[in-house]
Amino acid sequence: MPADERGVPYGPEYEHWIAAREAVDDRCWEDWNAEHYEPLLGYEPHTQLILGRSEGGHRHYLDGRPVHAGDTLELLLDDGCWLRVRYEWSWQPDVAPTAHIALGLPASARKQLSIDPPTTSFALPPRAIRRWPESARS
């Protein structure tokens, strides 16, 4: 490998060596994570609502981002499908946040009656797998 006057390697060969070493480190971390860390938790931390604090007080975070009232989240269902829900929370740390789901109405009924579709709500289970919708992940 070429080196400069201080003996520090440089150039394409060195950059390739560094990239290969980083790839090996990444694979080692992935293996360790899969074998040791994830089995202890039973879930991946970035899929959970984490209660933290912001300037305004308590707040939930998902994948490191603050979750605001009215935000759309997705919940993983047993069949592997994702369900879009609207997040709401009372700001009380000991009370679970609520998921709201809009139910369907036939298009003709929606036009005729000029009403919003009915909704149903439920407390978000503590270990439910959540994620941001595709449009919000970037």
Cβ atoms 64, 73 nearer than 8 A: no
Distance (Å, rounded) from C-alpha 91 to C-alpha 80?
Answer: 30
Q: What is the pLDDT of residues 29-75, one digit of tens each?
A: 888 877 777 666 666 778 999 999 888 889 999 999 999 999 999 99
User: What are the domain boundaries of the chain?
Assistant: 1-42, 46-136
Q: What is the pLDDT of residues 77-123, one digit of tens each?
A: 999 999 999 999 998 888 999 999 988 877 777 777 777 778 999 99
Distance (Å, rounded) from C-alpha 100 to C-alpha 97?
Answer: 10
Q: What is the CA radius of gyration of the chain?
A: 23
Question: CB under 8 Å to 67, separation ≥6 — which residues?
Answer: 49, 59, 60, 61, 73, 87, 89, 97
CA atoms within 13 A on the CB side of 114: 0
